[in-house]
Amino acid sequence: MLDQVVAFLCEADRLKTVQRANLLMDLSRPENSAEHSWHVALYAMVFGVSDRAIAMILVHDLVEIDAGDQPIHLDHDAVALRLAEEAGAARIFGLMPDGAVLADLWRAFEAMDCSDAVMAKRMDHIQPLFQVLQAGAPLPDHVRIVRANLECGRAARMVQEWPEAAAAARHLLAQEALPDNDLARRLAFLAEADRLKSVHRANTLIDGSRHENSAEHSWHLALYALVLAPLAGPGVDVGRVIRMLLIHDLVEIDVGDVPLHSAGGQAHGSAAVQQAEAAAARRIFGLLPDGQAVEFLALWQEFEAVETPDAIFAKGLDRCQPAIQNLHAGGAGWVAYGVTLAQMEGRVGAWVEAASAELWAWLHGRLASHFSAR
């Protein structure tokens, strides 16, 4: 079973190369569909959406691996696109033994046939609006697209469904400051989170085309938790694990990624790094309304402490995903740091085995084969 599940997770890596029409908030490059999925899931978490709705968001754009992204302002053949997405869903979810479960989540999201799907779709439609409007100097063409979307496009329904968000968008369109309220604080936090898409990690995408960033890594990890849930031990709440993984790397906005195999005073896990990350957590989560700031900070601290069943499973996946990435990318990241099998066993094995002995046994066999062939 694990061979098939990992094949699906590795195929999902390709979503990181699907470009969208909108840009990062610093206007440096187009956003991709993996980091968009992460950001939408974070929106959902901030605005109190259910675990099932978040699961829908994690898988909602996977069909774009085959069908591509369709910008809302461009004409397209709706029937042809629907057929392409259905074919993509059949192929991609078909890689999984229980892929029908994920396919059902995707179809429910597309149909908006339940309250969870309505909320998930709402997050998917609102994130691109504020992605444009909260940028420092939004592009005029993008502002026009947002205005049209709010007036007569798919986001027009927000006036009835979510009038506070629609009002906030109108303030920003008029270049007015948002009222000082909880919504504005949540949007400020979500805008700051966009910066995680520019934090580069040591490992590359599986195709070797570039280094992975921490936002798409966080999405991929959340997807790992969703599909590897059957391996979780007693007492693990996988929905809570997914939420933990969505926020676990936000401190890297301030601190940067610290590679697992780095050395010296600023090495992974050093006292200096821990202090810097704790300060970053207080600043970043402090952007949220007070009660939510406390909640998110506590969840991040729980992940870092690795003492609860949820944190143990989350940390094990956080060690597992980069190892699988490296295995399928030929081990380029390990070569750069001179990593050995013994180091992988010590730095990765204990964490993955604590999360799932079955997962570690599977991974260790493949690591041993890789390093013995070098």
Task: List CB contacts of 282: < 8 A, sequence separation 6 or more.
Answer: 297
Local confidence band at 262 (pLDDT 50, 70, 90 cut-offs): low
Q: Which of 209, 176, 172 is nearest to 32 (CA)?
A: 209
Among 292-296, 311-315, 369-373, the range scoring the smallest mean pLDDT is 369-373
- Mean pLDDT for the chain overall: 95
Range of the domain at 253: 201-372
If asked whether residues 311 and 168 sit together in one domain, one would say: no
Per-residue model confidence (pLDDT) at position 103? 98
Per-residue model confidence (pLDDT) at position 263? 55
- For 98-133, letters b (16+ CB in 10 Å) and e give ebeebbebbebbbeeeeebbebbbbbbbbbbbbbbb
pLDDT exceeds cutoff 90 at 23: yes
Across the range 350-361, mean pLDDT stands at 98
Local confidence band at 1 (pLDDT 50, 70, 90 cut-offs): confident
Q: Which tens digit of pLDDT belongs to each residue from 51-104?
A: 999 999 999 999 999 999 988 877 888 899 999 999 999 999 999 999 999 999
CA angle in degrees (0–180, nearest 5) for 131-133-138:
95
If asked whether residues 180 and 317 sit together in one domain, one would say: no
How many domains is the chain built from? 2
Per-residue model confidence (pLDDT) at position 13? 98
Q: Which tens digit of pLDDT belongs to each residue from 104-124?
A: 999 999 999 999 999 999 999
Task: Judge residue 290's burial from the number of C-beta atoms within 10 Å of its C-beta, 0-12 exposed, 13-18 middle, 19 or more buried.
Answer: exposed
If asked whether residues 177 and 223 sit together in one domain, one would say: no
Per-residue model confidence (pLDDT) at position 54? 98
Q: Using H for helix, E for strand and C for coil, what is the string for 281-318?
A: HHHHHCCCCHHHHHHHHHHHHHHHHCCCHHHHHHHHHH
Domain boundary among 195, 230, 246: 195
Per-residue model confidence (pLDDT) at position 269? 72
Across the range 142-163, mean pLDDT stands at 94
Per-residue model confidence (pLDDT) at position 335? 85
Across the range 184-194, mean pLDDT stands at 98
pLDDT exceeds cutoff 60 at 249: yes
If asked whether residues 8 and 63 sit together in one domain, one would say: yes
Domain CATH for 100: 1.10.3210.10
pLDDT exceeds cutoff 60 at 266: no
Task: List CB contacts of 297: < 8 A, sequence separation 6 or more.
Answer: 281, 282, 285, 286
Domain boundary among 179, 195, 211: 195
What percent of the chain has pLDDT above 90? 90
What percent of the chain has pLDDT above 70? 98
Tokens of 270: 């050093």
Domain boundary among 161, 195, 229: 195
CA distance 371 to 374: 5
Across the range 36-60, mean pLDDT stands at 98
Across the range 285-290, mean pLDDT stands at 98
If asked whether residues 22 and 103 sit together in one domain, one would say: yes
If asked whether residues 322 and 191 sit together in one domain, one would say: no
If asked whether residues 120 and 230 sit together in one domain, one would say: no
If asked whether residues 169 and 221 sit together in one domain, one would say: no
Among 152-156, 244-248, 290-294, the range scoring the smallest mean pLDDT is 152-156
User: β-strand 200-204 against 19-23: which pairing, if any?
Assistant: unpaired
CA angle in degrees (0–180, nearest 5) for 68-69-72:
145
Q: Residue 213 has what DSSP assignment?
A: E
Asked if 200 contacts 213 with a C-beta cutoff of 8 angstroms, the reply is yes
If asked whether residues 191 and 206 sit together in one domain, one would say: no
Per-residue model confidence (pLDDT) at position 309? 98
pLDDT exceeds cutoff 70 at 267: no
Entry field: residues in the chain? 374
If asked whether residues 188 and 288 sit together in one domain, one would say: no
CA distance 283 to 252: 12
Tokens of 129: 């609006």
pLDDT exceeds cutoff 60 at 288: yes
If asked whether residues 335 and 234 sit together in one domain, one would say: yes
Across the range 129-144, mean pLDDT stands at 96
Local confidence band at 320 (pLDDT 50, 70, 90 cut-offs): very high
If asked whether residues 161 and 221 sit together in one domain, one would say: no
